Amino acid sequence: MKKFLNKALEFLKVNRKDLVVFLLSFLLAFSIWFIHNVSLRYSEVLAATVAAESNLSGRRNTASNSCKVVARCRATGYSIIRDKMFGGGAPVMIHFDAASLHHRDGDVFAFSPESMPEFGKMVFGASVSSVEYYLTDTLLFVFPEENSRKVPVVPISDIRYASQYMSGDGMEVRPDSVYIYGDPEKIAGISKVFTKNVTLSDLSSDAHGSVGIESGRGVRISETSVDYTVIVRRYVSEELSLPVRVRNVPAGKSVAVYPSNVNAVVAFQFPLMADPDALDVLYVDYHDFEQSRSGKCIVKTDTLPDGVLGVRPEIDVVTCVAL
């Protein structure tokens, strides 16, 4: 073979050095041509497999099946080559909003690729400049039912207010309840979920933000975070003597309360919106009196009127006597 190559070079009057230069030049020219052409965009049919996840109420968060998507796309030559060579790889996981999935029948939910403009890039990659049209017009995913339970969200916070500022309602969260999913015996033992701790200090104005929910062991929670709000008001405090009423007294019954008035520190929103002389929010419940052997009853606070941020009685137990 070597002798044949030497004779061929002698016949063509080409020396080895010139041949090496020619081959290197050819390879360089081919590389430039190839890189240029694969960087151009072409119209080609591409295919990909899609797996789905969503937060459908009462359903598993991942579909039990996957779907093949076929579309004619404008893509680089590199993307087309990659798709032809490795198009049968792992499915692309896509998160679908619950609103984009339409219930068909049983556990089947339909999705139309045309309804999500960015769907093409999510499935085929950023190198796809556009999807000309989809050959697969509808994807059908199966989301099996899952045991669920609705529970309240309890905010955990450490809030310190600036002097003469407070919040009448404390921290509120939205949504104030979530769904938990899992085995029946696990979700049956969960009556509420908690947020992660929110620490705020020297607060003198409203606070807003987002806080994560503590994950439960062995269960899935419909939300990973909630929005919180703390409405802060400036206040002035005043010590008042407030009457203690008796609620839910049956007809023909009468109960006296001793003492009938209790001193209490009342926080009023500043500037003053409520009439201190008209404040009537302390009471005892007749049902508590019936259950008490000694006649002692706990003083309760009714819903506070607008402009009143808090009421703190100096004593929380009074004596009730049937008349």
How confident is the model over 289-298, as pLDDT tens digits?
Answer: 999 989 999 9
170 shares its domain with 253: no
177 shares its domain with 243: no
Of 167, 199, 231, the residue at which a domain comes to its end is 231
191 shares its domain with 281: no
252 shares its domain with 218: no
132 shares its domain with 88: yes
Tens-place pLDDT, residues 208-251 = 999 999 987 778 888 899 999 999 999 998 999 999 999 999 99
Least confident span in 7-21, 147-161, 215-229, 252-266: 7-21
| Average pLDDT for 188-207 | 93
244 shares its domain with 187: no
Residue 307 has pLDDT above 70, yes or no: yes
Residue 14 has pLDDT above 80, yes or no: no
Of 142, 165, 198, the residue at which a domain comes to its end is 142
226 shares its domain with 250: no
CATH number for the domain including 218? 2.170.120.40
Tens-place pLDDT, residues 29-55 = 666 666 655 565 667 788 889 999 998
62 shares its domain with 138: yes
pLDDT number for residue 188: 85
Residue 56 has pLDDT above 80, yes or no: yes
Q: What is the mean pLDDT of the chain?
A: 85
209 shares its domain with 132: no
Tens-place pLDDT, residues 94-111 = 999 889 999 999 999 999
Residue 2 has pLDDT above 60, yes or no: no
49 shares its domain with 135: yes
Tens-place pLDDT, residues 155-178 = 999 999 999 999 878 899 999 999
CA torsion through residues 180, 186, 191, 192, sign: negative
| Average pLDDT for 76-95 | 71
Of 187, 207, 231, the residue at which a domain comes to its end is 231
CATH number for the domain including 268? 2.170.120.30
- Total structural domains within the chain: 4
pLDDT number for residue 80: 62
Tens-place pLDDT, residues 126-156 = 667 788 889 998 999 999 888 888 999 999 9
| Average pLDDT for 179-185 | 85
In terms of residue numbers, what domain contains 49? 41-142
